[in-house]
Amino acid sequence: MKTLLLKTGLIGVAVVATATGTIATAGPAAAATYGGQCGSGYGVVNRFDLPTNRGTVFLTYNSGNGNNCVVTVRTNPGAATLMEAALKRSSSSTWNVDSGNYTTYAGPVYVSAPGQCVDWGGTIGTASDARFGTNCG
């Protein structure tokens, strides 16, 4: 699948001089990992890391049945907080959404869209931190 539109911030790489005078690079903190929440046959085709290392929104696809799936996974599960996973065919006005107060992940949400574009995204914590994009395949 090819990303057409990406609405997210970029995290830079910090360069730090150590006490010994060597240069060390520090990348972004570890993101959440996809744990197969969509079921067997689904592979990750895109992802959004959410602000402040809250978690990651994963877009997956199953070539066997033509379904896309979205799941939003917390980096560090904990007390229940607002989490959302959303997905729709780009040609549709109806979103498939799982929204609630969860401890580990939101979703999975599915849509059948073989060879079509899908709009997808999610959030953890606040709607202002939501990330959405469009993938075509």
Given a contact cutoff of 8 angstroms between Cβ atoms, the answer to whether 99 and 84 are in contact is yes
Global pTM reads: 0.78
The DSSP call for residue 63 is T
Residue labelled with tokens 């729709």: 88
> How confident is the model at residue 30, as a pLDDT?
58
- Joined tokens for residue 105: 């992940």
Q: In terms of pLDDT, which residue wins out, 31 or 67?
A: 67
Q: Write out pLDDT tens, residues 71-82.
A: 999 999 999 999
Percent of the chain residues topping a pLDDT of 70: 78
Residues whose CB falls within 8 Å of the CB of residue 40, separated by 6 or more in sequence, listed in order: none
User: Where are the domains positioned within the chain?
Assistant: 2-31+43-136
- Options 3.90.550, 2.160.20, 2.60.40, 1.10.3470; which CATH number does 2-31+43-136 get? 2.60.40
Q: Write out pLDDT tens, residues 100-124.
A: 999 999 999 999 999 999 999 999 9
What is the distance in angstroms between the CA of the first residue and the CA of the last residue of the chain? Answer: 4
Nearest to 33 by CA among 63, 59, 56: 56
The DSSP call for residue 30 is P
pLDDT tops 80 at residue 48:
yes
Q: Write out pLDDT tens, residues 3-34.
A: 333 333 322 223 233 333 434 333 445 578 99
